[in-house]
Amino acid sequence: MEIQLEVKIDSPEYEVDMKTGLDTLQGTSDTIRTIAETILKKRIVQKKFSDSSIRTKMKKTFEGSYGMFFSLYIGPDMEPQYKEVGRSALLELLSFFMHDALHLIPDFTLGNRASKCAN
């Protein structure tokens, strides 16, 4: 099962330092994966392995901008936990915790199902 996501880097000069851009994409991947694993496994995972049931996969890129389409892959062994949380609640929580990681105030409140999973 895969959830399609995207990250876009905006720059007023339409340029991004390559190292910074690559670090941003890597950080986004690591953060999304860590949040998803924490929610679905109900514990903080200390190490990430390439054969994990939850991982991110790069997809095609944006046309004319700096960003990446990617997917969050959830393996068959994690599907019962995924179904318990639900797609919309998982996406709400991913967005909420990404806002928190970036010290941004979310422009939404968590729904009942997402709030229940966050506690």
Q: Using an 8 Å Cβ cutoff, are 91 and 108 in contact?
A: no
Residue 52: phi and psi, rounded to 5, are -65, 155
pLDDT tens-digit map of 7-66: 888 878 778 888 988 898 899 999 999 999 999 988 887 777 666 888 888 887 766 667
Residue 72 confidence (pLDDT): 94
pLDDT tens-digit map of 52-106: 888 888 887 766 667 888 999 999 999 999 999 999 999 999 999 988 888 888 8
**Beta pairing partners, 72:** 3, 56
Q: Using an 8 Å Cβ cutoff, are 59 and 70 in contact?
A: yes
Of 92, 90, 85, nearest to 72 (Cα)? Answer: 90
What separation in angstroms does the CA of 30 have from each of 9, 55, 73?
16, 9, 13
Locate the domains of the chain by residue range.
2-118
Instruction: Say how far apart CA 11 and CA 84 lie, in whole Å.
Output: 39
User: What six digits make up the tokens of 106?
Assistant: 């979310």
